[in-house]
Amino acid sequence: MSNFLASINYNSWILHVLLVFPLLGAVAVFLSPAALAKRLAFAVTLLEFLLSLGLWWSVNTSNGTMELMQTIPWIPQWGISYAVGIDGISLTMVLLTTMLMPLCVLGSFAAITEREPGYYALLLVLTTGMIGVFIAMDMFLFYVFWEVMLVPMYFLIGVWGGKNRLYAALKFFIYTMAGSLLMLVAILVMVRVAAVMGDGKVSFSYFHLLQYAQSPIMGRIAPWLFLAFFLAFAIKVPLFPFHTWLPDAHVEAPTAGSVILASVLLKMGTYGFIRFAIPFFPGVAFSTFVTNTVVTLAVIGVVYGALVAMVQPDIKKLVAYSSVSHLGFAVLGIWAASVQGVQGALMVMIGHGFSTGALFFLIGMIYERRHTREINAYGGLARVVPIFSLILTVVALASIGLPGLNGFVGEFLVLIGSFRIYPYATGIATTGVIFAAAYMLWALQRIIFNKLDKPANEVIPDLNRRELAVLIPLLIGIVWMGLYPKPVLDKIEPAARRYILMTKGLVVPGDDVIRTKGASQ
């Protein structure tokens, strides 16, 4: 495989193609008739996935450094370049994105009946935005992707969403923008300070900023800068108490929108912590106050999310709050900055992408049949739709971290990795596994078990082939990563170690590790 990829010079063009191809696809889809649009969109996303798959072999993740770096001057007057690169962390995130997109398209075939070309075109634009966030190596570029992504999502929620979609769309947009605008100021200030330190060289390059991020001048304002970054990412994660946009957005978004939100968009917050906020300001991020605050918030998120999820009457809201809970684990692991914690956080991110994505698909499918998301409107479905019930059960169990399925690997690693550092917080977070069982099984019971006492539920058909085609890849992922997560763990380990070195201020760009000691364990 590697030889073949090398022979077509894969590494030199793939990142650009991954960004441009969906955009071109979006234009084509937008201009094509409705009947063709969805097929075309599916073809584009599938091809995009196949293209991206080569990254698995072609990217050398063993150093944990940014590979495939490409820098093209964009706005040289302002020191802005089109710079992209990829490491193990980005790699998994990009593949998660590209893998989900064909499923999202396929999963929308029946649900979306209005303005289809626009819908699928937006999904494709979103693809570019998401991939861009994960590979941008220039802060300007990153910011552009970060913000641009909001637009398709805004439309997806607002146009194709549920009853209260207008409120949810606006809330989603403004909430997210609130965080990112302050980050914008922080980026600019960093660039200015770096320019002072670096003989007036103005550059938005990630590495350039990383180089000067720990300079003494930056040190004085670092808490403020960190706060700005932190807010942007904490809202996206979402970390308690910045999470209230999520339930609304999830509930109102169309199925594919919810899937993308949960599976990819939320990960951008944690990704942002790992890639930007913490490596830039490790001193602040790991100061006692910040550490205590973040870990407390993460743990509150874990427990609070689970408890609030438990009492939701709306199944989508339940899953939304469960995301708050899960992502709390991820943040905890990131702040633990131990190998297990960080790898665990990444596994939580990936695992949550699979299981929650699948949950939202399932909810969407049942919604298409019954047009309600009220948990109490269901009951006894196991008898009418056994395949649906089986898959829902498996996915729900994956979500609550049943060992052998993917959710467990991440949670276990996070908890074991964080335990040494924050024993009490981790101990409290571990109770999350109890509450997770409570909310998920209770919901499961009310949906697929109990008496089949609503006549409307007696006639719904089981999953069809298209729906199975959407779910089975996710199920394979859930089981595979639960039983044999090693290939993924191996891909992310060097990058995770590198992140840990950064948290200790042991890495400077120029991309070389000064000291490698003290980051094992």
Partner 1 sequence: MNPSWIWLTIALPFAGFLVNGVLALAKPDAKRVVSLVGPGVLLAAFAVAASIFAGLWTHPPEEPIVLPLWAWIGAGALRVNFSLQVDQLSAVMLMVVTGVGSLIHIFSVGYMREDPGYARFFAYLNLFVAFMLILILGSSLPVLFVGWEGVGLCSYLLIGFWYQEKANADAGKKAFIVNRIGDFGVLIAMFLIFWTIGSLEFTDIVKHAPSAYAAGGTLITVITMFLFLGCAGKSAQIPLYVWLPDAMAGPTPVSALIHAATMVTAGVYLVARTSILFSMAPVSSMVVAGVGATTALFAASIGLRQYDIKKVLAYSTVSQLGYMFLGVGSAAYSAGVFHLVTHAFFKALLFLGSGSVIHAMHHAYHATHSHEDAQDMRNMGGLSKYLPATYWLMLLATFAIAGVPPFSGFFSKDEILSAAFGRGAEHPVFYVFWAFGVAAALMTAFYMMRLMAMTFWGENRTGTVEQEHLHEAPAIMTGPLVILGVLSVIGGVLNLPEFVGGLSHQGLEKWLEPVLAPAAKQMPVHMPHGSTETILIVAASLTAIAGLVAGWKATLAKPITVAKAAHEEVGFARVLFNKYYIDEIYQSLIVRPLVAISRLFLWKFVDQGVIDGLGVNGSGGLARALGWLGGRLQSGQLGLYVIVFVAGAVWLLHAVIR
Partner 2 sequence: MTGLDLLTPSGLMVAMLPELVVTLAAVIVLLINAWRHQTAADSRFAGMVSLAGLVAALAVLGALWRGGAAPLGAPNMIALDGYRFGAQLLILGASIGTVLLSLDYLERESLIAPEYYSLLLMATSGMMFLAGAEDLIVLFLGLEVMSVPVYVLAAFNRKSAVSAEAGLKYFLVGALASAFLLYGIALTYGATGSTALTVVGQRIAAQGIGTMSGLGLALMLIGLGFKVASVPFHMWAPDVYDGAPTPVTAYMATGVKAAGFLALVRVLMVGFGSAVDTWQPIIGVLAAASMILGNLVALAQRSIKRMLAYSSVAHAGYLLAAVWSGSQAGASATMLYLAAYVLTTLATFGILAVLGRGGERDVTLDSIAGLAQRRPAIAAALTICMFSLLGFPGTFGFIGKWAILSSITAEHHQFLAVVLVLTSLVSAGYYLPVIRSLYMRPPLNAEIHDGVILPGAARLTVALGVILLLVLGILPRLAIDRADSGARSFAGTALDRAAQARR
490 binds partner 1 (CB under 8 A): yes
Applying CB under 8 A, the site for partner 2 has a residue count of 33
On whether the CB atoms of residues 226 and 277 are closer than 8 A, the answer is yes
Question: What pairing do the DSSP bridges indicate for beta strands 67-75 and 507-508?
Answer: unpaired
CA distance 100 to 383: 30
Interacting residues of 347 by C-beta distance below 8 A, sequence separation 6+: 406, 409, 410, 413, 414, 481, 485, 488, 489
166 binds partner 1 (CB under 8 A): no
Q: Which of 1, 24, 196, 387 binds partner 1 (CB under 8 A)?
A: 387
144 binds partner 2 (CB under 8 A): yes
Q: Which of 73, 76, 404, 518 binds partner 1 (CB under 8 A)?
A: 404
Query: Scanning the structure block, which residue is given the tokens 């829902």?
Result: 392
CA distance 166 to 159: 8
What are residue 512's DSSP bridge partners? 508
3-class SS of residue 507: strand
Residue ranges in 219-248 that form contacts with partner 2 under rule CB under 8 A: 224
Q: Which does 499 bind (CB under 5 to 8 A by kind): partner 2, partner 1, none?
A: none
x/- string (CB under 8 A) for partner 2, residues 103-142? -------------------------------------x--
What is 108-174 written as a DSSP string?
TTTT--SSHHHHHHHHHHHHHHHHHHHHB-BHHHHHHHHHHTHHHHHHHHHHH--TTHHHHHHHHHH
Whose Cβ is closer to partner 2: residue 75's or residue 456's?
75
Q: Which does 281 bind (CB under 5 to 8 A by kind): partner 1, partner 2, none?
A: none
Q: How many CB atoms lie within 10 A of CB 83?
A: 26
Residue ranges in 45-84 that form contacts with partner 1 under rule CB under 8 A: none
On whether the CB atoms of residues 346 and 92 are closer than 8 A, the answer is yes
Q: Which of 66, 413, 471, 474 binds partner 1 (CB under 8 A)?
A: 413
On whether the CB atoms of residues 94 and 101 are closer than 8 A, the answer is no
Which spans of this chain sit near partner 1 (rule: CB under 8 A)?
171, 174-175, 241, 243-245, 304, 307-308, 310-312, 338-340, 343-344, 380, 382-383, 386-387, 390, 397, 402-404, 409, 412-413, 415-417, 419-420, 426-427, 430-431, 433-434, 437-438, 441-442, 445, 448-452, 483-486, 489-490, 493, 496, 520-521
| Residues near partner 2 (CB under 8 A) | 75-78, 140, 143-144, 147-148, 151, 154-155, 158-159, 165-166, 169-170, 173-174, 177-178, 181-182, 184-185, 188-189, 191-193, 196, 224
